[in-house]
A and B are shown apart, each in its own frame.
Chain A
């Protein structure tokens, strides 16, 4: 029975209280392992977490508001900055939503390159997750090995788009430009080395007894709870629900690729870890297939009112020049309507809701960030665990604060 000071007679006052066994600590926003500016209010009993309240918004930059003031093609740049570990995925969700509203047909080559880059980006995102997750658990070197591999992917992305972290490579109606000459060869170099690197990670972490005991049986979320809490992506598949939007709602021609959807039944941090590790291998498979499917062709849709013309055409053809001017100066009108397009981002269902009222600017753009939803499940996962497990669980749901706060 708890003693309360509520019924204390008015002639008394509390001078000193007995020692409380509970302690509230504020974890973040400046904390090494909250992956950015997440703040958790933890109520602890010793090292045990009694209650966890995430506090977000430290990185809120009003991106959804900004979309309403930018033309459709300008919005792509904003999407880069949401989930900055998976910018091409954000690009894809956004441009596909707009393309759906416009009804554009995307050429095959552009589709293949989109798949290729999305999978490269997924590997890169998972590598950052792996590095930071391992670092949270205390394995320091994996971080550097993971970033070394990611560097190679960023170099590839840079070769194609000119940007490393914010490529804005996918444009409405196709791609910014075709991949450069020799790209396949460079990509091949990466894909040749990558399985070895994954093997290294498995040796360093998966086979490590300490790592296993730190992750197995921690942060349990059952399949029903996971669905109820809205978990998607690897976090959901770690609970034994094999939903992958690439498989169940295919887009960009994913139905033509041969890949497995890794599912683990463990429901714990270890299961989510294994799902992501296996996903990297699957993405590697898809990259190889995409490389073999590359055929010469255009990478831009045949829609001169929407897609910027070639530089060459712009300088030689009058109508191309006019289109270029109009698109840049005024933008293009998108038919009124609303759309919700979801793709499988590296962290889960990445949905983009766009509402158009007919003008060159959207009336409302909303992103369903998987990190946002996955983070909301954190209190459920860490309930009754220890402080050290909180960082392990945060690592296992792979959050990016840029996407959570938007």
Chain B
């Protein structure tokens, strides 16, 4: 979009670009949501030996729009004793909070568009991207809790209470499971995290170093989005429909949309943080391929959700809480501790290597005290058992050292830089 700079001030140009980006990603997210609903119905039907909606358009392709029209034209019913304003506000909170994280989704790498020039497929990059996503999605709980309370219906209230308790509990393990990734990458910028996973022909994914974190994240994410087997807030066989029992027409549609957007959001996070985002073989050569990879990974997660729904029964509320607090949370904490200690080990190793290496290069002569020849210090250190335990391969470690020596202040690796200064002094 650089060509715009010729006509307007750069801030304005960036603003225009972001506005366009927001609109495009809004449409993309909405379409994905609409077709996730359709896919859910069709895939579930396939699992259950039914047909599913297949009458509107070819193979039911227009069903989401038919549903939307129906939602718009249905009668809006407000319970007589509902707290009107809050009742009205709740779905708006839910859907707004669901939509807002969309600006940091890294849809793809920088691609060259005809007439536009290079375009980076993300609306906004900022250093607290992940924190922003977690914070905003937590606000969605308000929508649900308020909906349950404002409807003035007992089933809604129980659904709302369950939802808030569940989402707050699982938020903990969800957040903690991401800490490992953040420690590894040293940044909270989602785009930056994706970029860091671009090594190994686009297969240098964090899931290889964070398998435990990934599992914890996946389970908490399912619970966070109230999906089977954690769909207690809207358990239709117990609470009729949970917090949205009393909602109809477009207000119900907003909740419905919010749920599916949240599914999309957690899938995006899983993809971005653990599965390398848009990275994959060949992305370096054909950047447009990145978008395909990104969407494919997202659809894999969405399919997983649907598959689970077709297979599993539902937890009971106390079991759900036990599972969250007594199993997932300790597991997430364990993951953080493991990651942190491994990082500490490797980091001190890096530092030692670097010190030895840089001293040798500046002309110092060193001798190992244990008597072995002072030759390849770096290689020896990297072949250290501790190092291999850490699971960080040789080449990357070397590259990290190299980058440090070259004076690259890597984003977020301040502790490393500090150490560097310390050694230099």
Contact = CB atoms under 8 A, between A and B. Distances in A.
Contact of A210 (B47, B237, B309, B312): B312
Interface string B150-194: 000011001000000000000000000000000000000000000
A149 to B, nearest CB: 11
A390 B158 CA distance: 15
A209 B101 CA distance: 35
A387 B49 CA distance: 31
B236 interface: yes
A145 B158 contact: no
Given A32-B237, A47-B317, A138 B49 contact: no
20 contacts: A25-B155, A32-B237, A33-B238, A47-B158, A138-B229, A138-B235, A138-B312, A138-B313, A139-B311, A140-B228, A141-B47, A144-B49, A144-B50, A148-B49, A387-B158, A387-B239, A388-B232, A388-B314, A388-B316, A389-B316
Contacts of B312: 138-139, 208, 210
A211 B312 CA distance: 8
B362 interface: no
A204 B319 CA distance: 20
Across chains A and B, which 7 residue pairs bring their CB atoms closest together, nearest first?
A138-B314, A33-B237, A144-B48, A139-B313, A138-B313, A137-B313, A388-B316
A32 B240 contact: yes
Contact of A140 (B48, B49, B240, B317): B48
Nearest to B239: A387
A136 interface: yes
Interface string A88-100: 0000000000000
Contact of A386 (B44, B47, B316): B316
Given A33-B238, A141-B48, 8 more contacts: A23-B154, A25-B155, A32-B236, A138-B231, A141-B310, A214-B313, A214-B314, A387-B158
Interface of A: 23, 25, 31-33, 47, 134-141, 143-145, 148, 204-205, 208, 210-211, 213-214, 386-391
Nearest to B317: A47
A210 B237 CA distance: 16
B71 interface: no
B49 A137 contact: no
A339 to B, nearest CB: 41
B313 A210 contact: yes
B317 A134 contact: no
B318 interface: yes
A134 B313 contact: yes
Nearest to B318: A386
B305 interface: no
A208 B228 CA distance: 14
Interface in B219-247: 228-229, 231-232, 235-240
Contacts of B315: 210, 213-214
B313 A208 contact: yes
Contact of B48 (A23, A136, A145, A213): A145
A208 B310 CA distance: 13
A391 B229 CA distance: 16
A388 B48 contact: no
A141 B235 CA distance: 15
Contacts of A387: 158, 238-239
Nearest to A387: B238
Contacts of B158: 25, 47, 387
